Amino acid sequence: MTGGLPDVDVLGVNVPGVDVPGVERREDDVREVDVLVVGGGGAGLTASMLLSRLGIDSLLVSARPDTSTVPKAHVLNQRTMEILRELGLAEQVYAAGTPAANMSHTGWYAGLRGEHDDYGREIARIECWGAGATDPAWVAASPCRTTNLPQIRLEPLLRRRAEELAPGRVRFGREVTALDPDEDGVTATVRDVATDEVTRVRARYVLGCDGGRFVGPDRGVTMEGVSNLFRSVSVHATTDLTRWLRDDEVLIRWIWLPHIGTSCAIVPMGPQRWGTDSEEWVFHLSFPMDVPVPDDEAVVAELRRALGLDRHPMQVHRINRWLVEGVVADRFADGRVLLLGDAVRRLPPTGGLGLNSAIQDAHNLVWKVAAVLQGQAGPGLLDSYEAERKPVTVQFVQHAVANIVTHLRGMEAAGFGPGSDPDRNWATLRRMWGDDPADEDLRRRMRRAFADQSGEFDALGIEYGYEVDPADPATALVDDGSPADPPPDPRIHRPGTRPGALLPHAWVDPDGDVTARLPVMDLVRPGRFLLIAGEDGQAWAEAAAKVAGELGVGLDAVRIGHLDGDLLAPGTAWLDRRGTGPGGAVLVRPDRVVAWCATGPADDPEAEVTAALDAVLRRDR
Ligand SMILES: Cc1cc2nc3c(=O)[nH]c(=O)nc-3n(C[C@H](O)[C@H](O)[C@H](O)COP(=O)(O)OP(=O)(O)OC[C@H]3O[C@@H](n4cnc5c(N)ncnc54)[C@H](O)[C@@H]3O)c2cc1C
């Protein structure tokens, strides 16, 4: 609405507000929305942008006056970057983030600075997250490379874009204090944190993206799993470490502390430089649950002692304590209230899956909410959100916890641990660096322990390749009965078009013009299904056009082949991955998940496409 009278609800019908000349629109006039998004972190801001892009009227309220001031998550994986590409944000994020050359590896080092030359020496180094966009499997998986941008720098970009897409509908400094759901919607009480003014917002759906602080607990949702793995303290500081660091290609440095027996992680924060000369850093220290976390002064003293930084200039911006958990919500929804991000999972940072899953939750859910609100789908479609995201979440939490164990095993292999003897720790490292044949077994064990960390740093199968199981009838997929064939290793990604898989990446050339080459993902338009037929699949494409008109569902169709088709696929990537013959077709959902697949032609393609869409969209006819 504009200035004047607010929108009102008349028997469930949203009557737009009335413009009154000379009356300024006040922000708090908004009382009625289709979707209320609670929380302005990664999940909420992404949901807001996706809703706006689909023309859904939404309001985002977030309790704090601004985006997060805690560095928190930083690695943005390929699946997330594809979502940001859809939202027109990928280029900005890449420009602000770590160059590929500064994030091809992760490394382990023996302390940082100390009284002898072995301090700072490399213990091991392995490739990570696609080796700076050079690992062929990662390059082939997606048109978007993994990048790294701390949450404090990412969220302002998300916020600005969300505000551009929904002016006046992204409100920070507003906290939801009560929710009152009924059959037709939810009434939320929203408090202006600065003025204490309270307003009520009536929404047809509420997306709880508040990190699990209010919405989930208020709806009786409980978290299951281990809620006290360990405590972590993050110190964000400006300091010059150039003199002691090596390896500009290393993103995360795991500093083993032989003189203490524990370790500490260091990550560059940029913002301009990301190698050893990064201006800012975040230091992560861990504390067992039974050890009280020291106060700020003691944390900094501990950090300086651990790294040998004594009186080295360091401007500390922020010290944050957090509890590392491995928990999953028992329910992802309560009627018209749906939960996303940290509201449904909290997991260890090992693997960088927290923020990424928050953004990916929004991508799975928002098109479904829009389809229901726009009358294209039945409300049952929303049940598929939990059915699709919960199993993936459980997998992520297990993976992140397993990654911690792998880290600990590496240290154990060297005999490190709290209270271990410093002289013995150094002696072990020197045996490992040496070439005495008697130490070959130690060197082999250590090599193996570090190579095993690829489970965290080369986990393409988990990060990108995770699939939804179509055998669960609650999913928005059509099970074709083909047996599940998960890769034998979480590191392996096998692109394909089994229902539940993400649309595999391939390049296509419009009119065979290589200069206009685009990734097949770009063919999926906001909120619309895409039927991709083979070069001989004209009947499928025609059927899709007809069914789209009949059902009033957004559905595009295209034929892709190597020699013939509406679009030509260079090389063999698409032919290899499409999972159909030249006369087959796949139906791709708006979130680019394959919903249905026909390997060849059909007698009645129109009936088949209609049945697939009806099943996916839970349309009762
Ligand atoms: C200190 C710390 C370090 C972390 N480090 C890592 C890491 O290294 N790697 C990693 O993968 N993950 C990390 N995480 C986790 C990662 O940051 C989260 O997974 C991610 O932020 C989840 O995004 P979200 O949008 O779901 O929730 P959040 O980012 O928590 O956003 C929730 C939003 O909701 C708002 N809010 C809360 N209550 C209300 C209310 N009642 N009304 C309105 N708004 C409300 C909050 O102000 C906030 O803006 C870390 C988390 C913490 C706390």
Ligand 1: distance of its center to the CA of 370 in Å? 25
Same domain, 61 and 158: yes
Q: Give the end of a domain, one of 263, 293, 326.
A: 326
Protein residue with least CA distance to atom 27, ligand 1: 211
> Could you tell me if the CB of 341 is within 6 A of ligand 1?
yes
CATH value at residue 116: 3.30.9.10
Burial class (CB in 10 A: 0-12, 13-18, 19+), 313: exposed
Contacts of 11 (CB under 8 A, 6+ apart): none
In three-state form (DSSP H/G/I as H, E/B as E, the rest C), the secondary structure along 136-186 is HHHHHHCCCCCEECCHHHHHHHHHHHHHHHCCCCEEECEEEEEEEECCCCE
pLDDT of residue 386: 98
Query: What does the CA dihedral 571, 576, 580, 581 come to, rounded to 10 degrees?
Result: 60
> Could you tell me if the CB of 210 is within 6 A of ligand 1?
yes
> Could you tell me if the CB of 163 is within 6 A of ligand 1?
no
- Looking from the CA of residue 232, the nearest atom of ligand 1 is 1
Task: Print the domain residue range for 564.
Answer: 467-617
Ligand 1: distance of its center to the CA of 302 in Å? 26
Confirm whether 428 is domain-assigned.
no
Burial class (CB in 10 A: 0-12, 13-18, 19+), 44: buried
SS3 594: strand
Ligand 1: distance of its center to the CA of 126 in Å? 29
Nearest to 510 by CA among 502, 522, 518: 518
> Could you tell me if the CB of 396 is within 6 A of ligand 1?
no
> Could you tell me if the CB of 150 is within 6 A of ligand 1?
no
Same domain, 334 and 218: yes
SS3 433: helix
Distance CA 380, CA 451 (A): 45
Ligand 1: distance of its center to the CA of 469 in Å? 28
Mean pLDDT of all residues in the chain? Answer: 93
> Could you tell me if the CB of 41 is within 6 A of ligand 1?
yes
Confirm whether 566 is domain-assigned.
yes
pLDDT of residue 523: 98
End-to-end CA separation in angstroms for the chain? 35
SS3 236: strand
Q: pLDDT digit string (tens) for 407-438?
A: 999 999 999 988 899 999 999 999 999 999 99
pLDDT of residue 29: 52
Instruction: Report the helix count and the strand count for the chain, using DSSP H and E.
Output: 16, 27
Q: Give the end of a domain, one of 308, 326, 344.
A: 326
Contacts of 195 (CB under 8 A, 6+ apart): none
What is the rounded radius of gyration, in angstroms, for the C-alpha atoms of the chain?
26
Ligand 1: distance of its center to the CA of 20 in Å? 40
- Looking from the CA of residue 322, the nearest atom of ligand 1 is 1
Ligand 1: distance of its center to the CA of 186 in Å? 24
CATH value at residue 39: 3.50.50.60
Backbone φ, ψ for residue 23 (5° rounding): -100, 120
Ligand 1: distance of its center to the CA of 150 in Å? 12
- Joined together, the tokens standing for residue 276 give 């050893």
Phi and psi based region of residue 183 (left: phi greater than 0; alpha: psi -120 to 50; beta: remaining): alpha
- Joined together, the tokens standing for residue 316 give 């500390």
Sign for the CA dihedral angle at 172, 321, 343, 189 comes to negative
Nearest to 547 by CA among 587, 503, 501: 587
Ligand 1: distance of its center to the CA of 46 in Å? 13
Q: Give the end of a domain, one of 337, 359, 375.
A: 375
Same domain, 308 and 269: yes
Q: pLDDT digit string (tens) for 347-368?
A: 999 999 999 999 999 999 999 9
DSSP letter, residue 252: E
Same domain, 164 and 207: yes
Same domain, 157 and 198: yes
> Could you tell me if the CB of 456 is within 6 A of ligand 1?
no
- Joined together, the tokens standing for residue 63 give 């309790």
- Looking from the CA of residue 358, the nearest atom of ligand 1 is 26
How far are the Cα atoms of 447, 534, 567 from residue 585, in angstroms, in the given order? Answer: 46, 6, 14
Nearest to 203 by CA among 34, 39, 37: 34
Q: pLDDT digit string (tens) for 379-416?
A: 999 999 999 999 999 999 999 999 999 999 999 999 99
Same domain, 183 and 243: no
Same domain, 316 and 341: no
Confirm whether 435 is domain-assigned.
no
Contacts of 169 (CB under 8 A, 6+ apart): 30, 33, 48, 52, 57, 58, 59, 60
Same domain, 305 and 333: no
- Joined together, the tokens standing for residue 215 give 């919405």
Nearest to 463 by CA among 521, 402, 396: 396
Confirm whether 513 is domain-assigned.
yes
Same domain, 131 and 273: yes
- Looking from the CA of residue 176, the nearest atom of ligand 1 is 42
Same domain, 168 and 299: no
The residue type found at 572 is T
CATH value at residue 503: 3.40.30.120
Q: What is the DSSP string of 514-572?
A: GGG-EEGGGGS-TT-EEEEE-TT-HHHHHHHHHHHHHHT--EEEEEEESSSSSEE--SS
Contact 596, 587 (CB under 8 A): yes
Contacts within 8 Å (CB) and 24+ apart, 287-291: 287/230, 287/231, 287/232, 287/233, 288/230, 288/231, 288/418, 289/228, 289/229, 289/230, 289/231, 291/231
Phi and psi based region of residue 573 (left: phi greater than 0; alpha: psi -120 to 50; beta: remaining): alpha
Confirm whether 283 is domain-assigned.
yes
Confirm whether 430 is domain-assigned.
no
pLDDT of residue 76: 98
Contact 137, 460 (CB under 8 A): yes
Query: How many domains in the chain?
Result: 4
> Could you tell me if the CB of 40 is within 6 A of ligand 1?
yes
Query: From the centroid of its chain, how far is CA 162?
Result: 17
SS3 436: coil
Residue with tokens 């999953």: 328
Confirm whether 422 is domain-assigned.
no
- Looking from the CA of residue 354, the nearest atom of ligand 1 is 19
Confirm whether 450 is domain-assigned.
no
> Could you tell me if the CB of 351 is within 6 A of ligand 1?
no
Residue with tokens 């859904």: 56
Distance CA 406, CA 479 (A): 36
pLDDT of residue 8: 32
Burial class (CB in 10 A: 0-12, 13-18, 19+), 543: buried
The residue type found at 153 is R
Low-confidence ranges of the chain (pLDDT < 50): 1-28, 30
Distance CA 145, CA 359 (A): 16
Same domain, 201 and 236: no
> Could you tell me if the CB of 62 is within 6 A of ligand 1?
yes
Pairing, β 518-519 against β 333-334: unpaired
Ligand 1: distance of its center to the CA of 454 in Å? 26
> Could you tell me if the CB of 234 is within 6 A of ligand 1?
yes
Same domain, 371 and 515: no
Distance CA 590, CA 368 (A): 9
Ligand 1: distance of its center to the CA of 363 in Å? 17
Ligand 1: distance of its center to the CA of 403 in Å? 21
